[in-house]
Copies of this chain bind each other. A is one copy, B any other.
Amino acid sequence: MTKPHREQLEVFDNSYPSRDYEIQIRCPEFTSVCPKTGQPDFGELIFTYVPDKKCVELKSLKLYLQAYRNEGIFYENVTNKILDDFVAAAEPKTATLVSNWGPRGGISSIITAKYVKST
């Protein structure tokens, strides 16, 4: 299985670039590995973005996310890294990524990172 890299994310032309509309994508089946314990982590990722000239192709997003299956990476870092890759590929006007993780030791975490294109 390949490692995740942002070139996996494919885009297509936004047919309505003159209107600012919002796309939300829910991915409840994300899994990666805790780099400290080697144990798998499970979470839901929720992308919300306003496209500029490009939209993210969903099947390529699925394959990109699957590539984290055996990657060791912390919650905070995987959230920020995926947002960075998403922004690099889609160049959206705004984008938010929420990652919601299953409980560990009685404690569960939600990370929310946002991007706004500088104008």
Contacts and interface: CB of A to CB of B under 8 A. Distances in A.
Interface of A: 1, 14-16, 19-29, 31, 39-40, 42, 51, 55, 58-59, 61-62, 66, 69-70, 76-77, 79-80, 102-115
A21 B112 contact: yes
B107 A61 contact: yes
Identical chains bound together, number: 10
B25 A58 contact: no
Contacts of A28: 42, 102, 106
Nearest to A61: B107
Contact of A102 (B16, B29, B76, B79): B29
Nearest to A114: B21
A23 B111 contact: yes
Contact of A29 (B15, B21, B42, B77): B42
Contacts of A26: 103, 107-110
